[in-house]
Structure 1
Amino acid sequence: MSEHIAFEEEQARLASSLQDIEEQLRGIGPKYTGDDFTEQVLDFQREERKQRLEVAFKEPYFGRIDFQEMFQDGVAIEDVTKPLYIGKAGVARSGNSNELLVIDWRAPAASLFYSFTGGDALAEYVSPDGDISGHVHLKRNFMIRQGELVRLVDSYVRGQEEDGVTDEFLLFRLGENKDNKLRDIVSTIQGEQDKIIRAERNKALFIQGVAGSGKTTVALHRLAFLLYQYEGRIRADRMIIFAPNRMFLDYISGVLPELGVGDIGQTTFGDWALELLDHSIQLSDPSETMMHWFEERRTEEEWENASGRWKGSIAFKEAIDGRISELQETILPTESFIPLPRFELKPEMMREWYETDYGDETIMVKRDRLASRIRRWLESELKQRGVVDKKIRAQALAKLNSFVKKMPSFSAVKLYVSLFRGKTALPGVPKAIAKSTADRLGSGMAAAEDLAPLTYIHLKLYGLSSAPFDHVVIDEAQDYSPFQLEVLRLCQRTVSMTILGDLQQGIHGYTGVHSWNELQGLFQEEDTGFFELNRSYRSTMEIIEFANYILGSMTGGVKPAVPVFRSGDSVIAEHVNNDDWLCSILQVAKEWQAKGEYDTISIIGRTERESYDIHQYLIANGMEASLVQSKQPTYGGGLTVVPVYLSKGLEFDAVLIADVGAEAYETMDAKLLYVGCTRALHKLKLFYRGERTPLLADWEG
């Protein structure tokens, strides 16, 4: 069939589908506003259906796969090849709920669209009824905009395979410009990504993904899949995404709504921890910590021995466990409670109540319940013995209050401070760390490194006030300490996590991990899974090859990024004089904007101060530019100036690294420069003042 005829046939099919969806939308009727509970439930179901239809009406489908199902012996079940149209939302044909107009991308049969890569061998997918196999005769991609068929690409036609055709639609989508929001990839999910999305739920799934491999987007699509696959068993409002900062949360905010998913919590570890602690403390400015480490030169030994790494270790957690065990023993009274003559409650009875009746409760909850139980015992005894004299009763209650006060009561902050101060301080803690921590907490402030221990203590003392999480997503997990992950593990009844990151982008060495084994070791081996995404879809071949060069032999057991075959401009490193440096940056920004080829442009500075100076110069010379800062909640696109350590997670059409001179980037800064370079999709240029960084000493370009 010629491409022209196929396009006309698909246009007609699209028009018919849109008409069907529109008729279904009109038939839903107005929203119910009455008080009848049954009608309210039905209205809720109608509203859900309406939302699915509205999603489908904007873009009914993006793919088609023609499939002929076979018996196990290779005989066709029917001499018919069925076209399956794949979209963001499943839609039944009007008047026939058993015939699907569009198959939801999360449905078992839709997995064929992502897993099939060509060839004559049988393709198969796993359905609720077992494995289904058959032949794929056609795999077709669509781009539909505003109800119009814009593009059609056949990535596979049985018997007519051509080399290189498979990636044509993917390359077209990758070549598009970026805006200020992350987009869904539902129409271009690749086979290795689909395996992660559809992986079983009850695992701590670790994803090592190179820059631009789509790991964040894959994790978001996995949430949508899990809600579909385990409908009725998990809830969106019991899922949570932990992102590195609020700006990143804003950047990814459009993906889940586009997939028809709402109510999933999205936060940072810091914000979540402060809320759990009922804001009993405040968080010191995280930018101070970042500037302290990134803008002042540190040796490898200083990074490795940072207090954040020590406070994030399991060894520190075990030391806290020891102190909590000691606390638990001091809660239980060792003497009888004798409020009045011949009234006695023995310690053995109180221990039985504490350990047996309240055994599953947390420490402070058990302590408070034991205190209430002792009070009820006294009231019962006074009543049974007919004690009505107010004075005698008051004496008994006074002794009760005095007795209960001897049972220690701690908040998380109070117990944590005791680990660093006075006779109760933990042995072996460096004096400087102990003093700074105690002083900071004494003034009502906590550093980011203190939040994992504080939340852990709170959970051990008081438990989780909300329902346990059904699923947890942790992005940029290489910057998490083992202690942070242990805290989140406590917030689930059954392990169900998606933990993603890139060790090569582990720039927060003062707190993060060097190997995934540091985090995987927190779980039983059978409760973990590991995937590696090495293919980078973000940047051109030239940019990826340059970024890999920067890392050199510094692999850390991680495979280098493999670019998609998408070629672009060469990467340029250009020397500029210090006096002309800001003017040169201005000229590049003007030139790139004038071309009109790039929607998002970034100037990446080495430090926050340097980025501020660049931004001020651009503004003074009539440029409209935004400056990314650590507390910034949103990213607006356009021309942006950002310090390199705040650029992680973002993407730009074109990037200029402001200075890669020897004074800006030393050998130990390889990961930092790698992060900056891999922000670029289509264009990357670097300036350097003085000598080049030793990271580029032998690079010819």
Structure 2
Amino acid sequence: MLAAERAHLDRAAGCLAEMRVAASAVTDAGVDSWASERLGAARARRLAALAADPGVPPFFGRTDALPAAGAGAGETFHIGRRHVRDAAGDPVVIDWRAPMSRPFYQASATDPHGLARRRRFGFSGGELTGYEDEVLEAGDGPGEFLREEHSSRVLLREIERPRSGPMRDIVATIQPDQDDIVRAPLAASLCVQGAPGTGKTAVGLHRAAYLLYTHGGQLARTGVLVVGPNRAFLRYIEQVLPTLGEVDVAQATVAELTARVPVRAADSAAAGELKGDARLAEVLRRALWGEIAKPVDDVLVPLAGRRYRVPVERLKRAVDDLRRRGRAAEDQQLLHYAAGRERLAMLLAEDARRQKEAAGGSPTDAETRRGARSAEVREFCDRVWPAWDAAGLLFALWSDADRLARAARGVLDADEQALLRWPVVPRSVRSAPWTPADAVLADELAGLLERTAGHGHVVVDEAQDLSPMQCRAIARRLGAGSLTVLGDLAQGTSPWSPADWARTLADLGRPAAAVTPLTTGYRVPAEVLDFANRLLPVIAPGLPAATAVRSEPGSLAVRPVAALAGPLADVVADLVERPGSIGVVCADAVADEVVALLGAAGLPAARLTDDGEDPGRVAVVPATLAKGLEFDAVVVADPAAIVAAERRGLHRLYVVLTRAVSTLVVLHRGDLPAPLSRDAGQPV
């Protein structure tokens, strides 16, 4: 039987190679340059989707269907990361996203979904080394086999496989609760409250891949966007979707989405927190629409060689009507500011046109458009409805106390306004000390000025840390599409981190999104997870603790030390002898010191930075960059310093303690934080 499966593996690999050859052979008929360009792009996408990864086998599982009445054996399908067909067009491997693949993920003894058997394959370096069959007979309930003594060894080996390099897909190990989220309808907006190790990030990415497969035509027009907390995180996940055959998904941080001004400064903690407050949206709206003035005189509009007077009363009515439409409630806004200015110019020209028609003339549409662009109309619009760009108006607002006071009246008090103003007015917009929070506010203004293009689906990870203004920036890029929100309230480390998801979902524009919990931890050992869970009653009372499916005795070591230097180097030196990635997590302020310490001991360590560069085998991770990452082994250096570094330090420590897949070593000087100190003192 193993020989037969290896033969099928070879056949699948050969068919996949033939599919790549066929895609390369697609020729250009030379119809026109546009068609050639489209064909070339489609061929490049197809080749990228079919690209071979020597470490990734064509299939990872098999389903054997129950035979039909009176028939022999039931149909057999091999399940893989992409569809593979032979020269005749018959399927050799079924894409994991296809409806007929779903029983592989959902079948259980109590509900076999028409299957007699599920087979999982074990691989090493792309070579098929064995398989394991699960005969779906009455017995265990759905999803319970992982917790039993007869757990799937192949499944657990895949889950425990050492981490090196970027994040991998989880198509071979998706569990029923994860599969339900992955295959939710495109129209459904979801919020996944995922505890550490539950695979929420992978589930969100696989959902994007599933939606692109199932609704490719629709999403090809509108696109899919993945938003992550920083560039290091995006580098970590960037290969997941291409491995699944999806190469056209945009991935960005909020900072990259909102790069409206050149960021060159940082806010104080108080100013940064205020700039993320949802009240700033109202201040900016008032600042922009408050620039509109009342007309004070008639305007002469040139049209087809004559001038027509538009009386001031009609001008006032036109301006008031447009302003009311633009200043409507956010979810009912009918008109953006720049479009309102253009519409005002056309209203003047159309008024002149009606006057000419009443006198027996018949001006053309082109003449009317020229009237709207005339110097007289432009001069009127500049006085009444001035043109602004986002950076220019924000510059004016932070530079002018009176302007800010008018916009913030009844919204921000005097002290809050003082936090926003620049103490010294910069010479120009480009030289201004813009901060990351300013960029988000400039993006808010840009969204008021003009419509922001939306995506068909947006996946937002680590959403619990987003400010209300950052949420609004993402919501603008959502348009009429759907949303997958990923996060963990217990891992909230920003000043805006909520106690529940209601406010965040409202700020993201999807208040009715269903919140789905994931509480089964597949990646983090029980010993590590139980240790970190001691913090939950303090940082997230009422939030269910995650439970791990696997136990690894010896995976946790907590050691008091007088100084870090010697013990840290010894621990890392020991871990380097084992396979897998190593993350040394410490307070941001001492990251360079830790790199130097390990370097002096002859250990090749490098600091992880926000630019996404790979630091190599041993990464020294500033605590603020640890979120969303995983390492086979994690060494937490001086947890008390991590806690002391920020207001929500215990939340940050919870994040740090849950990054380990196989081994966690905690080296602490002085006392551990109180929730962790109970029975903690295991020697390394």
Q: Is the shorter-chain TM-score for this pair beyond 0.5, marking a shared fold?
A: yes
| Residue 188 (structure 1) shift | 0.8
Task: Tell which deviates more after alignment, 371-380 or 489-498.
Answer: 371-380
Match of 1:564 among 549, 558, 561: 549
1:646 matches 2:640? no
Distance 1:227 1:15 in 2: 28
1:335 matches 2:297? yes
* TM superposition score normalised by structure 2: 0.83
SS across alignment from 2:91: strand
Residues 1:68 and 1:114: Cα distance change in structure 2 (over 3 Å) = same
Asked if 2 retains the 8 angstrom alpha-carbon contact of 1:256 and 1:262, the reply is yes
Residues 1:257 and 1:442: Cα distance change in structure 2 (over 3 Å) = farther
1:92-111 paired onto structure 2 within 5 Å: 92-95=85-88, 97=89, 99-111=90-102
Q: Could you say which residue in structure 1 is the equivalent of 2:3?
A: 8
Asked if 1 retains the 8 angstrom alpha-carbon contact of 2:224 and 2:250, the reply is yes
Asked if 2 retains the 8 angstrom alpha-carbon contact of 1:598 and 1:654, the reply is no
Distance 1:572 1:60 in 2: 39
Distance 1:634 1:13 in 2: 39
1:689 matches 2:669? yes
- Structure 2 segments unaligned to the other structure (5+ residues): 327-333, 362-372, 427-431
Asked if 2 retains the 8 angstrom alpha-carbon contact of 1:53 and 1:91, the reply is no
Match of 2:213 among 215, 223, 228: 228
Task: Tell which deviates more after alignment, 164-173 or 18-27.
Answer: 18-27
Distance 1:155 1:514 in 2: 42
Asked if 2 retains the 8 angstrom alpha-carbon contact of 1:207 and 1:530, the reply is yes
| Residue 680 (structure 1) shift | 1.2
2:275 counterpart letter in structure 1: K
Q: Could you say which residue in structure 2 is the equivalent of 1:600?
A: 581
Q: Percent of pairs identical after alignment?
A: 26
| Residue 182 (structure 1) shift | 0.6
1:109-120 paired onto structure 2 within 5 Å: 109-119=100-110
Task: Tell which deviates more after alignment, 547-556 or 49-58.
Answer: 49-58
SS across alignment from 1:521: helix
SS across alignment from 1:586: helix
Q: Could you say which residue in structure 2 is the equivalent of 1:536?
A: 521
Distance 2:250 2:611 in 1: 19
1:56-455 paired onto structure 2 within 5 Å: 59-68=57-66, 76=69, 80-95=73-88, 97=89, 99-119=90-110, 121=111, 123=113, 135-144=114-123, 148-158=127-137, 163-235=148-220, 238-274=223-259, 277=260, 281-284=261-264, 306-327=270-291, 330-331=292-293, 333=295, 335-338=297-300, 343-347=308-312, 349-350=314-315, 360-371=334-345, 374=348, 400=377, 402-407=379-384, 408-417=386-395, 421-424=400-403, 425=405, 426-427=408-409, 429-439=412-422, 442-443=425-426, 444-455=432-443
SS across alignment from 1:85: strand
Distance 2:603 2:49 in 1: 43
1:138 counterpart letter in structure 2: R
Residues 1:397 and 1:499: Cα distance change in structure 2 (over 3 Å) = closer
Q: Could you say which residue in structure 2 is the equivalent of 1:485?
A: 471
Asked if 2 retains the 8 angstrom alpha-carbon contact of 1:156 and 1:166, the reply is no
Asked if 2 retains the 8 angstrom alpha-carbon contact of 1:144 and 1:150, the reply is yes
Distance 1:697 1:517 in 2: 34
Distance 1:380 1:568 in 2: 85
| Residue 682 (structure 1) shift | 1.1
Task: Tell which deviates more after alignment, 195-204 or 355-364.
Answer: 355-364
SS across alignment from 2:132: strand
1:589 counterpart letter in structure 2: V
| Residue 113 (structure 1) shift | 0.8
Task: Tell which deviates more after alignment, 530-539 or 310-319.
Answer: 310-319
Residues 1:587 and 1:45: Cα distance change in structure 2 (over 3 Å) = closer
Residues 1:546 and 1:413: Cα distance change in structure 2 (over 3 Å) = same
1:82 counterpart letter in structure 2: E
SS across alignment from 2:614: coil
Asked if 2 retains the 8 angstrom alpha-carbon contact of 1:470 and 1:496, the reply is yes
Q: Could you say which residue in structure 1 is the equivalent of 2:365?
A: none
| Residue 378 (structure 1) shift | 7.4
Asked if 2 retains the 8 angstrom alpha-carbon contact of 1:611 and 1:643, the reply is yes
SS across alignment from 1:270: helix
Asked if 1 retains the 8 angstrom alpha-carbon contact of 2:455 and 2:481, the reply is no
Match of 1:502 among 488, 495, 500: 488
Distance 1:34 1:441 in 2: 63
Residues 1:315 and 1:41: Cα distance change in structure 2 (over 3 Å) = closer
- Structure 1 segments unaligned to the other structure (5+ residues): 1-5, 71-75, 124-134, 294-305, 386-395
Distance 2:374 2:245 in 1: 59
Residues 1:491 and 1:611: Cα distance change in structure 2 (over 3 Å) = closer
Distance 1:483 1:336 in 2: 41
1:315-351 alpha-carbon deviations (Å, 9 max, x no partner): 4434444455544xx2563532147998411245556
SS across alignment from 2:596: helix
Asked if 1 retains the 8 angstrom alpha-carbon contact of 2:623 and 2:642, the reply is no
Q: Could you say which residue in structure 1 is the equivalent of 2:680?
A: 700
SS across alignment from 1:673: helix
SS across alignment from 1:154: strand
| Residue 104 (structure 1) shift | 0.8
Distance 2:130 2:449 in 1: 59
Residues 1:441 and 1:239: Cα distance change in structure 2 (over 3 Å) = farther
Q: What is the number of residues matched between the two proteins?
A: 638
| Residue 454 (structure 1) shift | 2.5
Residues 1:423 and 1:599: Cα distance change in structure 2 (over 3 Å) = same
Q: Could you say which residue in structure 2 is the equivalent of 1:388?
A: none
* TM superposition score normalised by structure 1: 0.81
Distance 1:609 1:51 in 2: 42
Residues 1:351 and 1:148: Cα distance change in structure 2 (over 3 Å) = farther
| Residue 483 (structure 1) shift | 2.9
Give me the CA root mean square deviation: 3.7
Residues 1:84 and 1:337: Cα distance change in structure 2 (over 3 Å) = same
Residues 1:422 and 1:23: Cα distance change in structure 2 (over 3 Å) = closer
| Residue 28 (structure 1) shift | 5.5
